[in-house]
Amino acid sequence: MKEQDFLDFVRHGITEGQTRLAGLLRSLVRDSDQELAEGLESVEDRVFLEPMLCAFFHANSPRIPLQQILYASVPEDRRPDCVTVAADRHGTVYIPNLGYFFTRQTNKRMDLHWNGSARAAELHSQGRSVPSSFRNVSRINGTQIEVYQTLPQLLEPFFVDPTGSPVRVELVSIAAAKREYLENACLILREHYVHYFKNILDTIRGVLIYSAPHPYSFATMGAHGVAFLNSRPDSMSVFFLEDMLHQCSHVIFNAATLDKSRLFEVDPDTPLSSLSALDDYHGTLYEAFHGLFTQTNINRCLNICREAEVFSGRDRHELEGRISDNMKRFGGAIHAIGQRDFYTELGWQLYDYFRNTFVFLYRLQRELIEQYDTSNQPYIFNYGRFLEKNPLPKEVL
């Protein structure tokens, strides 16, 4: 598969996948609330790709009303003057694409009286006015991508440890402290990885920056359109660049490969441990194949940034460490799932593209990749651990 063929596959897949998802969600809304659906008949499909809508239908027992999620998307001439909303355990009422009402009414349903604008809106409980303050949504500069200012309660179920138990999540202070690095990473993507940034704009609706022992940074079809970034205290622009590449790739590829049967001759959800040659690997065949897409984008973009000298000093040292570590992981994944009989013709063409990308990038950067010792790296790259084996050069200190 040639470069342009690959780009065309992804673009077409995104368009087709997003359209199918929007249609499914529109149908689910119609089945759940006919009156709400009628108010949204004239809106574009993109409205139904709201991540909180995915999370609502993913949840076993959603804790907020459906009308709250889509209220800001209803055309104003059809928007009801009053709608029931729910505050979370902190007293926050989040209305997607509108903003946040902060109250002292925790875990409580209230009536939102619109009164023409968010600033004029009032919350009432049992007929009495509820004091509140309002804050608009915040978006990445020059985009419609929201940076969440609190943890929306529909996303709370995704924050669990490996045993399934809820974990404590720090979001507000960490998100504010790291916003500059996120913005810088997006600016780099916009300027140096143009086609990919367009894919981000077409698929990503929100970024949630948090700090917690679990889970690692992730993306999920249960909240399609959100990139979840688990930030450490020492995370800077290079971390956010790689993590945006990684998690946004998951969202993009989920949209582009809704019909997995087009790619695989075997069940794509087959655990790798059940494939005789792959007993040292975890996850499913599809997840591993997904990983080739993410590694392709991560390694191509990091190399572009290295050649363009986007970073210097400490940041360049981290960039090169991440290139070395990622390329080694990329090579391992290429080797692990290279059996032709796993794939359809299209799937094999994609695999071949990923493999050729790895070979090209390895030859281009072989000396850099092999000069660094990444043997002590955990599953998630840790720059502090990298420094233990690869101290900063004297000229950088």
Please give the Cα distance from 232 to 229 (Å, whole number).
10
- Give the pLDDT band (50/70/90) at residue 172: confident
Q: Which of 336, 337, 325 is nearest to 374 (CA)?
A: 325
Could you tell me the CA-to-CA distances from 325 to 212, 278, 289, 332, 333 in Å, in that order? 23, 21, 19, 11, 13
Is the per-residue pLDDT at 154 higher than 90? yes
Q: Report the pLDDT value the prediction gives residue 35, as an integer from 0 to 100.
A: 95
Q: Report the pLDDT value the prediction gives residue 119, as an integer from 0 to 100.
A: 86
Would you state the structure tokens that stand for residue 222, as one six-digit string?
A: 């249960």
Is the per-residue pLDDT at 80 higher than 70? yes
Q: Report the pLDDT value the prediction gives residue 272, as an integer from 0 to 100.
A: 85
Q: Indicate the residue type of 79.
A: R
- State mean pLDDT over 302-327: 98
Q: Report the pLDDT value the prediction gives residue 288, as an integer from 0 to 100.
A: 94
Q: Which residue has the higher pLDDT, 396 or 246?
A: 246
Q: Report the pLDDT value the prediction gives residue 281, as an integer from 0 to 100.
A: 67
- State mean pLDDT over 66-83: 95
- Give the pLDDT band (50/70/90) at residue 279: low
Is the per-residue pLDDT at 397 higher than 70? no
- Give the pLDDT band (50/70/90) at residue 394: confident
Computed over every residue of the chain, the mean pLDDT equals 95
What are 214-253's pLDDT values in tens digits? Answer: 999 999 999 999 999 999 999 999 999 999 999 999 999 9
Please give the Cα distance from 179 to 200 (Å, whole number).
18
Is the per-residue pLDDT at 313 higher than 90? yes
Please give the Cα distance from 331 to 75 (Å, whole number).
50
Is the per-residue pLDDT at 275 higher than 80? no
Q: Report the pLDDT value the prediction gives residue 297, as an integer from 0 to 100.
A: 98
Q: Report the pLDDT value the prediction gives residue 276, as an integer from 0 to 100.
A: 56
